[in-house]
Structure 1
Amino acid sequence: MTEAHPISRFPIPDLADMPEDIRNRILAVQEKSGFIPNVFLVLAHRPDEFRAFFAYHDALMEKPGNLSKAEREMIVVATSNLNQCQYCVVAHGAILRIRAKNPLIADQVAINYRKADISQRQKAMLDFAVKVSRSAETVGEADFDVLRSHGFDEEDIWDIAGIAAFFGLSNRMANVTGMRPNAEFYSMGRG
């Protein structure tokens, strides 16, 4: 499958012209995954924002805690679907399939997590993430009580909200920039 469309409506800097720290991060990702995810190239247009974006991304998505890395990806996939972000649903769907070791999970979560083959705890987590995405102003103590009843603590609740909120930004920027998912993502974790 060839890229029929540009990966962004904004200019993509040449790798050789990028600041060294950004170029090194991109090359490390390429070495690990075998390709450069388009999000890195698109965001490299604004180096300071690239650094801030990935610092916050890593703080939320790579930290240890009670949420597994697969559960963190579930939040991204479910909320990115609400925000109609093709890039994030496809890219993070691939990561979710790999982290959950389940070729079906990402499609289920993206389409309708309430019917997905996930635990009641995970459904409560996604209910909260969706509420943060759609109507954070209505979040109240009852929402915290539900999460606590499923074993989430205050730090977990912060993480769920932080991931949902951060990917609201990510989804909007991906949509505005016209960011296209790499073809490689579509088959990852399916075999």
Structure 2
Amino acid sequence: MSQFPLHDIASAPEDAKARLEGAQQKMGFIPHVFGKMAEAPALLEAYMTLDEIYSRTSLTPAQQQTALVAVSVDNRCEFCVAAHTGGLQQADVSQGDINRLREQSAPEDPKLAAVARFARHLNATRGWAEQSEIQAFLDAGFEQRQILELVIACALKTLSNYTNHIAETPLNEELKPLAWQAAP
């Protein structure tokens, strides 16, 4: 059993309180991963800052969320798969493509399939991307900058997936309808 506290605004270290308040205002609740990250305010700041930067990349919201789900599924992070499933829904990704991503298969949408494949490849190879995978991604209509933008997705998921594994983050009630279980 994890001994990492699940902070709320009242219990969080002072350096984390404003970020938790911002999440509460923006989302209507504080994702438990943020409550766990608050134990190390620098981690919470790093994640939230990088997430905001990632949102400004040239990838569409659907492509951004696709990469985050693909990497989280591969990393077996149940919390992040549920959370970013909500992001896929908000980005109007079809339920069929959402299901395929959660099952580690390719979405029918060719652009989302290319993003999922390349993000998984980057994650699996720890960034040692094969030239054939780079070319396949470019051939799918993407640019070199988007290859590098997917590095941000992998970095984001390293921060949150690892935190959730170490701290045993429970799923928020708000996310339970989107729950996902990693295969044993």
TM-score (norm 1): 0.81
Q: Which residue of 2 aligns with 1:81?
A: 73
Q: Is the 8 A contact 1:96 1:105 kept in 2?
A: no
- Matched residue type, 1:58: E
1:181 aligns to 2:181 (yes or no) = no
Q: Do the aligned partners of 1:72 and 1:163 also contact (CA within 8 Å) in 2?
A: yes
Deviation at 1:108, TM superposition (A): 2.4
Bigger relative contact order, structure 1 or 2 (CA pairs below 8 A, ≥6 apart)? 1
Identity of aligned residues (%): 25
The gaps in structure 1 that reach 5 residues or longer are 1-5
Q: Give, as a single letter, the amino acid of the residue that structure 2 aligns with 1:46.
A: A
Listed as ranges, the matches of 1:54-133 within 5 Å are 54-60=48-54, 62-65=55-58, 67-100=59-92, 102-114=94-106, 116-117=107-108, 119-133=109-123
CA RMSD of aligned residues (A): 2.3
Distance in 1, Cα, partners of 2:52 & 2:139: 28
- Deviation of 1:96 after TM superposition, in Å, equals 1.2
Provide Cα deviations, 1:34-54, integer angstroms capped at 9, x if missing partner.
221111111110112211222
**TM-score, scaled to structure 2:** 0.84
Question: Structure 2, unaligned stretches of length 5 or more?
Answer: 179-184
Alignment deviations for residues 138-177 of structure 1 (CA, whole Å, 9 cap, x no partner): 4132222111111211111101232124313321221111
Kindly provide the CA deviation profile for residues 5-54 of structure 1, in whole angstroms up to 9, marking residues without a partner as x. x9x63023452354566323322322332221111111110112211222
The total of aligned residue pairs comes to 178
Give the superposition deviation at 1:179.
0.7
Question: What is the SS of the residue equivalent to 2:3?
Answer: coil
Pairing partner for 1:166 from 148, 152, 156: 156
Q: Which residue in 2 is equivalent to 1:46?
A: 40
2:13–2:41 Cα contact (<8 Å) kept: yes
